[in-house]
Each structure stands twice: as C-alpha cells, then as structure tokens.
Amino acid sequence: MKKGTIKFNIFIDKKYNWKKIETNSGTIYLAGELEELQKINSFSNNEIKFKSFLNKQRNHFSFIFKSKYGITAAVDPIRSFPIFYSFNKGNYFFSNSADTLRKKLKLHVFDQLGLKEYVMLGYTLSNRTLLNEIKQIPAGQFFNNKKRLNTYFSYIGKPQKKLKRSSAINLLDDQLNNVFKRLVKKIKEKKVFIPLSGGLDSRLVLAKLLEFGCKNISCFSYGLKNNFETKTARKVCKVLKIDLLELTAEKLNSQDLFQQKKTMDYINFANNLSSSPSFIDFYAIQSLFKKNLSDKNSVLINGQSGDFITGDHIPKEYTGDYSINELFKIIFQKHYSLWSKMKNKNLDLMSQQFNKEIDKVNFPDYEKKKYAFFSRHEYWEWVERQTKWVVNGQRVYDFFNLKWYLPLWEKTFIDYWQRMPYEYKVNQNLYREYLKKYNYKGIFDIPKAIPNPWTGIRKLLPIIVMIRTKI
C-alpha cells in the first residue's frame, strides 16, 4: 500500500448480532433486512443509483460494506441500528458500537456541545456523540467511498396538491393493508407480543394483525399499577378476546435497580455515547422473560411512531409568527427541558446550532408560510428526537435478542405521509377519520388514554450513563 493511503477499518461488536456476509466483491456487515443485497457493490460507486437503491428499501436496516474501493456505510430513514465512525491518525474506523471505538482507539476527549445536548435532551444532535473524535451516521444518510456523509432521504413534507380527502383515506387503507399483509407473511406462526398502550397506534397494529390472520398474539401493558393506559388496554383486549399481561413497574424507581448487573449491561448496550436508554421498556421485557412468557423466537411489534408521522406533533397553537426563531423557541421549550437550569445559560449556543442545521436543509417552497413552518418542525423532530430517542427504545428488544418490527415506520408508509397535505395532518384529522371509519370491532370507540410520562428517571439517565460507563 502506498505511503499516505487511507486505511478503512471495521470493528463489529458481536453483542449486537450483526450478520457477516461474504460476497465476490467484498464483505457486508448487516443489521435488519436488505432487499436485493447483491446489488450493493454495483451501485455503491454510482451515487444516483445508490440513493435510489436505499430509498427503495422497505425494511429496517443498517450496513457496512467493505470492498477494494473502501467503505460504504448506511443507516435507514429512522436510524434503526446506529453506525459510528472515527477519523483517527489518518485512517477511518467504523463500528456498530461507539463504545468499541472508544476503547479500541483509546479516545476520551468530550465533545462539549454534544455533552450539553445529551444532558439537556437525553441525546446528542446532528452527527455528534459524547466524544469529539467519534461521529454517528444520522438517519437517512450514508458514508460513501468519497469519504463524506451524503443524504439519500429526509423527512420533508411534499404535499400532493388537489388530493381529495376520500382518495387520501382510500390510499391510507391500501398502504396499511399492504404493510400488514407483508408483515403477517414474515412472522408466520411466531409468538407475537404487542406493548398495548392506551393510545391509537398500538391499537391499530393489533387490529391489522388480527384482520390479516395473525393468531398467536399476546398484549402487555406496563407502568404504575392501575394507570389509565392499562385500564384502556384492558377494555381493548376484552373486546378482542386477547390476553393482556399487566406488568406493574413500581420497582423502576427503586435505587437498587441501578446496582444490578443486568441493568448496567443494558446501559452499556443501549446508550452508544449518543442516546440515553429507555428503562420503562427494559423493565417490561425483563419481566416477560422472568415469567417465561417470552423467548428468543418471539416477535415484538409496537406502534412507534404513529402519532408523529400522522401529524400529532405538528404545533397545535401558534401565533402567526412563522420565523425560524419562533420554531426554535417551540422546540427548545419542549425538548431541551431535562434540566431547566441549563436553558438560559445555553440558549444562544443552542439557537445558533439549530439555525445552522436547519439552513443546511433544502426545503421546497410551500404555498403557505405555516406549511413551511410545519415542515421544518417535522424535519427536526424526525432527524433528532424520533430517530435518536424514540427509535432507540428498540435497543431494549435487541438486548434481549428479540426480533422486532415497526410497521408504522415502514418506508412506504413514511412516503405516504410525506405526500399528505398539511391540512390533513394537523391534529391527526385524516388519520382519526380513517380510524373512526375502520373501527375494527368497535375498539376505536374506546377513548384514548392520556399518557403519564416518567420524567424524573429520564432526567437522571444521561448523568447515570456517563458515570456508569466511566467516560
């Protein structure tokens, strides 16, 4: 090898169960499912074809492909399985584990901005991690042989003009039916577990699975004893004659939880120096295994993130000020809120970074200012909160080696909602009208429960993670 030639190195942490696939043109390390996998090599050196290849993928995936030309690494539109990289001493290093890179390369210098983000939000923004020399590949992006990040997908509204409401509802029904037909075909006779909340999305997942013939289903709820979500889940399961496992979680707040080896193993597994782990799900899945109700051949299917993608997170109250400053104000007040004392001190810094990231994005022209405002709000929440906090909750299932699916994040369903006019998405009005008409066995007549988030423990998690992982 010529002097000065950049080397590409891959460190795969086996605990994440990535597959290694040898091909005539190189080695693929894969998490999830990839259609037409054999075409990676022929497309990886053609940027246009490669973007098209990635955008056609319906399943959740991440992969690192090493060939004689270098490295191509990509994550799906929701960053289902994180990928990290470091440029260190003139060479590139890639891994499915940020902590593995930290240890192998002996890295320890904090990214000061990433550190502040992690404490304020519970996750780092953009491609940052807690360490200065380790970066992550954001949702919908890939690292190519030209040694740079490239975007192939962004969740940006592209409203279809003159789309009749009746047509939109019919299209929604077709999309859902196609998604769940494919899913039922995949899972076959496996035992299916559904975390049933008091909301609409997990209810829809359950209804569609039953409609298309999935029989081996159990639902579970978790949280404080007799919480409103569990009470609602009981009503739904009673109508559908489905078993409901009620997993109470008083122990979640006990001090000894963080002294347990299993807990610490999970923290190290799920945080990846970029996202604080979900502990409500952790306790629930651990309970299923302790009760011998689940095994590694089971499948878990949840309703994430149906509320977001159908429009529920679009600001419901706005003053008519559609400026970038107003947008940041809304997002800052809601999401940078774990430690209120840090807000004023870091307001200007976070505002500058926010504007910088939004300015990088090529948004289309919209017929109304408020739609441009909505689009930017959705984009930020998708690329930051949804993919780094909400979807990172799937690490719980990976930790227990459970196969999982997110049907409401399937690519065709994402594409559908990108095309929907914003007047159909505000307050989920189209989605709710569809559910009212669909109303499988009357379960959507049951009122939606109001969730009761446990903000206290989430506030402490970033601090606990940093102390326990000794970074």
The model's confidence at residue 223, banded by pLDDT at 50, 70 and 90, is confident
DSSP labels for 80-121? SS--EEEEETTEEEEES-HHHHHHHHT---B-HHHHHHHHHH
Give residue-wise pLDDT tens across range 3-22. 567 889 999 999 999 999 99
Higher per-residue confidence, 210 vs 294: 210
| Predicted pLDDT of residue 340 | 84
| Predicted pLDDT of residue 22 | 93
Helix residue ranges per DSSP H, 321-392: 324-335, 341-359, 369-380
Lowest mean per-residue pLDDT among 276-280, 371-375, 405-409: 276-280
The closest of 233, 209, 174 to 405, measured between CA atoms, is 209
Residues 212-237 have a mean pLDDT of 88
Examine the pLDDT at 1 and tell me if it is beyond 50.
no
Higher per-residue confidence, 317 vs 448: 448
Please state, in angstroms and rounded to a whole number, the distance separating the CA atoms of residues 142 and 188.
32
| Predicted pLDDT of residue 147 | 73
Examine the pLDDT at 455 and tell me if it is beyond 60.
no
Give residue-wise pLDDT tens across range 167-193. 999 999 999 999 999 999 999 889 999
**The pairing of beta strand 149-151 with beta strand 141-143:** antiparallel
Examine the pLDDT at 103 and tell me if it is beyond 70.
yes
Lowest mean per-residue pLDDT among 68-77, 228-237, 293-302, 348-357: 293-302
**The pairing of beta strand 244-248 with beta strand 217-223:** parallel
Give residue-wise pLDDT tens across range 395-444. 999 999 999 999 999 999 999 999 999 999 999 999 999 999 999 999 99
Lowest mean per-residue pLDDT among 304-318, 319-333, 446-460: 446-460
| Predicted pLDDT of residue 81 | 98
Please state, in angstroms and rounded to a whole number, the distance separating the CA atoms of residues 279 and 267.
9
Helix (H) or strand (E) holding 176, with range, is: helix 165-187
Whether 98 contacts 131, CB under 8 Å: yes
Examine the pLDDT at 375 and tell me if it is beyond 60.
yes
The model's confidence at residue 350, banded by pLDDT at 50, 70 and 90, is very high
Helix (H) or strand (E) holding 219, with range, is: strand 217-223
Count of Cβ atoms closer than 10 Å to residue 70 Cβ: 19
The closest of 43, 41, 45, 64 to 55, measured between CA atoms, is 43
Q: What percent of the chain has pLDDT over 90?
A: 71
3-state secondary structure of 6: coil
Residues 96-121 have a mean pLDDT of 96
Q: What percent of the chain has pLDDT over 70?
A: 92
Give residue-wise pLDDT tens across range 147-172. 789 999 999 999 998 899 999 999 99
Residues 283-292 have a mean pLDDT of 82
Examine the pLDDT at 292 and tell me if it is beyond 80.
no
Q: For residue 87, give Cα distances in angstroms to 6, 8, 90, 96, 254.
A: 10, 9, 6, 15, 41
Q: Which two tokens stand for residue 199?
A: 């909301």
| Predicted pLDDT of residue 59 | 95
**Which value, in Å, is the radius of gyration of the alpha carbons in the chain?**
22
